[in-house]
Every structure is written in C-alpha cells, then in structure tokens.
Amino acid sequence: MRKRLMVVFSGAGLSAESGLPTFRAADGLWENQRVEDVATPEGFNRDPKLVLEFYAARLKACRAAAPNAAHLAISRLQDRYDVVNFTQNVDDLLERAGCTHVYHLHGSLFRRRCTACEYVGDQSVPVAIGDSCPQCAAQLRPDVVWFGEGVRMPPRTKIARMISQMVTNLGVFICIGTSLQVYPAARLVTDFARVRRKYVINPEPVRPSGFTLLQGPAASQMVALADALERGDCL
Ligand code: OAD
C-alpha cells in the first residue's frame, strides 16, 4: 500500500535540544555576533575572515552535536509515511537521524560554493581565506543562504503536487522549531492551508490559523505526536 505523505518544515528550534543555539531575532545576535556581520553578503565582503571563522565554529559545533529525540521521531515516522523534510537548518542532524528526504532551504554547513561562479562542492573541512574555486580560482564561501539571498525551494509544481496528495490522502504537515517569520515559512503555511492535519510544535504560542499547537520543546512534543500518529490517533 502506498504510504501517506508527511511534510515536516523545521527551524532552529528542532536542533536546540542537541545544543545548537537558535537564532535570536529579538536582540539580533547569533552566538554573540551581529547577524548583519556574519549572515549577510555585505558582512562577508567587509570581513571575510570573521565570517569564515564563524561558520567554521558552526561546523565544529554541528559535528560535536547528536540528533535529539525529535530528529529520531521524524526518522521513525518514515516507516509509516513518505516523509519530506523542508528545513531551514544548515546542520545535518536530520540526515544523521536517518531521514532520507531532506531539502535544505538555507543551504548546508557541509557544502562550499564559489563567490564568483556556479561551483558548489561538498566539504569536510571548513573554507578558509585563500581557498579558491577549482573552476575559476575566486575565493570560496560556505554554501549557506544569507539574509538578502535566494532560498533553495523545490519547484512550485512539486509543492502543488505534494499539497494535492496530502489533501486527498489525509497527509500530515508539521512545523517544528521555527518562528515562521523568515521567508518561505509564511508562504508554506499558506500553501499547505488546505491540508487538514496540521501541527505546530513550539514552546512559544506560535499558531497559524488552522494548526493544532503542541506547545513545548521539540523532543517531547515530537515523540508524543509520532506515538499518536503511529497509533492512528489525532492529537
Ligand atoms: P529562529 O531562531 O528564528 O526561531 C527558532 C524558533 O524555535 C522559535 O520560534 C523558538 O520559540 C523555537 N524554539 C526554541 N527552542 C525550542 C525547542 N527546544 N523546541 C522547539 N522549538 C524551539 O529560527 P528559524 O525559524 O529557523 O536564517 O529562523 C529561520 C532563519 O532565521 C534561520 O534559518 C536563519 C535565521 O536568521 C538565515 O541565517 C538566513
């Protein structure tokens, strides 16, 4: 029998209990750095060394972290659902938990790309000043999406197909650990409005209309939701 489709849209809160801090929009700081200094193209042009060191530290922290119970619960649901993950996270914790279908909308700490041409490559060591593109010799940079840059969304037709499959086949849409503020969060929430079973997991009372709010940390809430879905219950 064909499995039902589940789309999981995640943000920094999913990895918080793995020890990877969320981006704090309120004070505009991320790991004690001003966001505009370390997560914008202008910041990189001003001080590339600072930015490269910042992302080298993020890569190191990511390697030292392990998937938490929320990542593992999402992975476990693959036995019952076709799970497609759209994540804003640049870590690899979903993949390390065993998730096989992950779109990184904001890029990945494990890839590098050229500042001048289209080159993108995997990386096991972080980019440093002087690391040059194998195609055009320009400076390389992490393949993460900074503020003001384009998000890596799947084609609209693919998303439309997913939505109609979920509407007709009682699919499930879960938003977990995201403030739902940065594009394309708000757009996805609207796109998936027709899906009946929709959940938001967040310690804060974030609740787009039509969603069931499971208020609390990702790990305990996601495990409870996965248990319920496996039993065939609706929370
Ligand atoms: P944010 O840091 O904006 O939001 C994190 C969300 O996680 C907040 O809503 C928190 O309430 C929630 N949260 C915190 N701890 C949690 C926990 N233990 N369990 C569940 N939820 C928890 O992160 P994103 O929504 O991912 O972009 O932000 C999107 C983008 O803004 C990021 O990818 C990054 C950031 O700037 C760029 O760098 C371009």
**Domain residue spans in the chain?**
1-20+67-106+151-235, 21-64+110-144
Please name the residue whose Cα sits nearest to atom 3 of ligand 1: 179
Is the pLDDT confidence value at 233 over 80? no
Best residue among 35, 40, 88 to mutate for probing ligand 1's pocket (most ligand atoms within 8 Å of CB) is 88
Mean pLDDT of 154-162: 92
The CATH number that domain 1-20+67-106+151-235 falls under is 3.40.50.1220
Q: What is the mean pLDDT of the chain?
A: 92
Beta-sheet strands, E only, within the chain: 4-10, 29-30, 33-34, 81-87, 102-104, 107-114, 120-122, 140-144, 172-176, 197-202, 212-215
Q: Which residues line ligand 1 (CB under 6 A)?
A: 11-13, 16-17, 22-23, 25, 39, 88, 106, 145-147, 177-179, 181-182, 201-204, 206, 217-218
Nearest CA to ligand 1 atom 32: 88
Secondary-structure class of domain 21-64+110-144 per CATH: alpha beta
Catalytic positions, written as ranges: 106
| Closest protein CA for atom 14 of ligand 1 | 13
| Fold match between domain 1-20+67-106+151-235 and domain 21-64+110-144 | no
Q: What's the pTM value of the predicted model, to 2 decimals?
A: 0.94
The string of pLDDT tens digits covering residues 48-93 is 999 999 999 999 999 999 999 999 999 999 999 999 999 999 999 9
